[in-house]
Structure 1
Amino acid sequence: MSAVIRIVAAVVLDDRNHVLVVRKRGTTAFMQPGGKIEPGETPVEALRREVREELNAGIVEASLTSLGHHDAAAANEPGHRVAADLFVVALDGPPQPGAEIVEMAWVDPHAPGDLELAPLTLGAVLEYARVS
């Protein structure tokens, strides 16, 4: 059985319904901004912290919408799975790479292109963006 990593992830859409993805230092796959939930944090608290650290922006609280819980293979940790709480959010300013982020991109959910995308992004996230 695979080890499970509990995370939160932000689904940020632009005005064309393209999805923001990030690539972290030392990795090859692009994924949603977000990360591990620290002890004592709720998923929403972890999401606020991760978005601030990774995107140098805050969340517009009225935009916060849960997409529920989703499981997928972990992109950067072989033999692991992620158990993700996904949230659609609007940012209070333009995203700027912070913390461990080395690259950002906007992905068309109908034509994702050649970027290596994490399984969670390829599945639940792009599926949501296609029908939004």
Structure 2
Amino acid sequence: MMIDKIAWIRFENGRVLSARTRGRDTFYFPGGKREPGESDLDTLIREVREELSVDVEPATAVHVGTFEAQAHNRPIGDLVRITCYTADVVGTPIASMEIEEIALLSYADRDRVSAVDKIAFDHFREQGLLD
């Protein structure tokens, strides 16, 4: 089974914004699963608004990578693919709906994120985007 997710990547001073869902201890990039008929951009806009109460500026969205790994807390063989975009937003991100906490994480926090986000962390570190 492949879980298809879209993720918003926001870098600030060598760190990346991550979110933790209520009742969980692992951080993920903000975003989520697409609904039927949604494009990547539609999903990005909807999920970021739901989770962080900010509006993505669609014209600024840039694909920065697609990564796959074993899905966190799922049966072996269940994979997750995250397609990652940077984008400007209107507003200041705040935790809302199912999000309990948001944090700016550095590469030193790699052990606090999901397996697929670890792969992305490695990529962003190699690109010089993550301290």
TM-score by length of 2: 0.85
The root-mean-square deviation of aligned C-alpha atoms, in Å, is: 1.8
TM-score by length of 1: 0.85
Matched, 1:51 2:27: no
Matched, 1:121 2:117: yes
- How far 1:22 moved relative to its partner? 0.4
1:23–1:78 distance in 2 versus 1, CA, 3 Å: farther
Aligned length, in residue pairs: 127
1:11–1:125 distance in 2 versus 1, CA, 3 Å: farther
Q: Who is 2:30 aligned against? A: 33
Q: Who is 1:99 aligned against? A: 97
Q: Over residues 102-132 of structure 1, what are the superposed CA-to-partner deviations in whole Å (9 max), with x where a residue is unaligned?
A: 11111113x227x621112211145315513
CA distance in 1 between partners of 2:73 and 2:53 (Å): 23
Task: Work out whether residues 13 and 90 of structure 1, in 8 Å CA contact, stay in contact via their aligned partners in 2.
Answer: no
Q: Over residues 46-78 of structure 1, what are the superposed CA-to-partner deviations in whole Å (9 max), with x where a residue is unaligned?
A: 010000000000113343110242212222434
Name structure 2 gaps, 5 residues minimum. none
1:32–1:81 distance in 2 versus 1, CA, 3 Å: same
CA distance in 2 between partners of 1:13 and 1:58 (Å): 17
What amino acid is the match of 1:29? T
SS at match of 2:89: coil
Name structure 1 gaps, 5 residues minimum. none
Matched, 1:112 2:79: no
Matched, 1:69 2:70: no
CA distance in 2 between partners of 1:17 and 1:63 (Å): 20
- How far 1:20 moved relative to its partner? 0.5
Q: Who is 1:6 aligned against? A: 4
Percent of paired sites with the same residue: 31
Task: Work out whether residues 65 and 88 of structure 1, in 8 Å CA contact, stay in contact via their aligned partners in 2.
Answer: yes
1:7–1:119 distance in 2 versus 1, CA, 3 Å: same
CA distance in 2 between partners of 1:106 and 1:78 (Å): 29
